[in-house]
Amino acid sequence: KPVVVRLLSWLDQQNPTRGSRMDKAVTYIQNRRSYLSTYLEDGRCSFSNNLSENAIRPFTVGRKNWLFCDTPNGAQASAVVYTMVEMAKANGVNVYHYLTYLLEKVPNDRMSDDELELLAPWNETVKAEIEHRVNESNQLYVNCQGAPATEK
């Protein structure tokens, strides 16, 4: 915090030439001063937005592919699927098994927020179920490879 306070104090003393790069840089930071303060006051906030940037990268890379979504509803469906995939990744949940789980569990598109929360990848029950499915799948793979199954 002391470093940021000194930086902001130093910025307050600057008087760069209007329109210069330094002027733009100082103005940029000054306009975001409150956000910088939030970062300092709330330990849950990250100084970097790299996680967010990395999470949206597949979305931005796929932009040209979505020209073929055909309709706004198709584009909406693609965005929902990408969001579910990235949420699963961010929460350390196996994407394949999570999507399979959702397809089995979601009864319709008219679910309440509370019902949807129960299916979220950060829900501990969901995480346990997906972990169980991953372990089951791994065991099947081992058994299919001819290795003896472990005894219980």
| Local confidence pLDDT in tens for the 152 residues of the chain | 788 889 889 989 988 899 999 999 999 988 988 877 777 787 777 777 787 787 777 767 777 777 777 888 888 888 888 889 989 998 999 999 999 999 998 877 788 888 888 999 999 999 999 999 999 988 887 777 765 555 54
In a domain, 49, yes or no: no
Residue 77: inside a domain, yes or no? no
Is residue 106 a part of any domain in this protein? yes
List the domain range (segments joined by +) for residue 113: 91-144
- Sequence-separated (6 or more) residues with CB below 8 Å from residue 11: 26, 29, 30
Q: Is residue 56 part of a domain?
A: no
